[in-house]
Each structure stands twice: as structure tokens, then as C-alpha cells.
Amino acid sequence: MGARALRVALSGVTATWRRARLAKVALGKYIILLACLLHLGWAVLLLADSGATAATGVHTLSIVCGGPFRTSFVLVCVALAAIAFPFLRERVSNKALAGMLIPQQLMLLISAGGALAAVFNHHYADGVMRTSTFILTDQLPLILLAFLYTVAVLEAAFSAE
């Protein structure tokens, strides 16, 4: 009985959420824009100072890509591909959609994974030790951005017109 009531309440909440609109324009593009600006900002900062690779969000990316300059290059490429997407939405196929957005999603997921690893290891990527709640509070925006970006990609694919 309780489980059924909970399920009904949850379905009500999800239905309300699906109908909810803040504006006439779709908001998924702002999530993509935020990710692009973040990645372009990181790329510039990595070029300015390679010591920035010790930052938790960038550290794992730097290891995977192989250094600050390659990481900058990859970040600029994925950000430009993703920012082009809203302008080409009407003209590209679903495979192109995946090709434009999923590389950036991969970068965000790697950053979020690095942040989660820092939470579980109780220290930032540069070795500064803190409690896991402290690190989680600090890194939560990055983790949530990766999650919301995934939702935005799926929404773009499922609400295709």
C-alpha cells in the first residue's frame, strides 16, 4: 500500500516535472553552453599555467589525454563541436548529434569520475587532505553537470522533431 502510494506520488512529481517550463526556449542548450564555457576556460587556464593540471576536475583528463597541451587541444575541440550543435540541430542526423555531443559528455564524465575518486580517497588530486563531505561539497557542481549533460543529450535525441 505504502509502496503504491509512493509510486503514485513519484509519477505525479515526474509528470509535473515533464510539463514544467521556465521559458519558451529549451533550456538544454544552456547546459551545453555551460559545459562549453567551462571546457574553453579550462583550456585557456591549462595553456596559461600547466600547473593547473593538479586541479581535481582536470587532473584525470590530463592523465587520460597525456599532458596539459593535449588536454587543452582536446577540450577546445570537444567544446567547439558541442557549441556548434544548437545551430545545426535542424540539419544534422542523430549520428552526427551523438558525434558532436558525446565527446564532451565523455570529458565531463571523466572529470566527474576524478571528483568522485577524490571524494572516496579523502584528498584532492594535488594531495590536499580533506573530509569526503568537504570534497563532495566542493566538487558537486562538476558531478551534477556531468549528470545533467547526459540528460540533455538524451533529451535532444528523444525529443527530436
Partner 1 sequence: MTSSSLIALGAFGVAVLTFIATQIAARRAGIESESDRKIRRLEKDVADCEEAKMRVERRNIDLADENLSLLRRVVNPDADHER
Q: Which parts of 12-71 interact with partner 1 (CB under 8 A)?
A: 60, 63-64
3-state secondary structure 35-94: HHHHHHHHHHHHHHCHHHHHCHHHHHHHHHHCCHHHHHHHHHHHHHHHHHHHHHCCCCCH
Is 77 a binding residue for partner 1 by CB under 8 A? The answer is no
**123 pairs with which residues across the strands?**
129
From 40-48, 91-99, 126-134, 137-145, span contacting partner 1 (CB under 8 A):
91-99
**Cβ closer to partner 1: 33 or 109?**
109
Report how far apart, in Å, the C-alpha atoms of 149 and of each of 1, 35, 100, 146, 156 are. 36, 8, 13, 5, 10
109 near partner 1, rule: CB under 8 A: yes
Q: Does 136 bind partner 1 (CB under 8 A)?
A: no
In the list 106, 130, 138, 141, the residue contacting partner 1 (rule: CB under 8 A) is 106
Cα-to-chain-centroid distance, residue 109: 6
- Of 83 and 156, the one with the shorter C-beta distance to partner 1 is 156
Q: Enumerate binding residues for partner 1 (CB under 8 A).
A: 60, 63-64, 90-95, 97-98, 102, 105-106, 109-110, 112-114, 116-117, 121, 150, 153-154, 156-158, 160-161
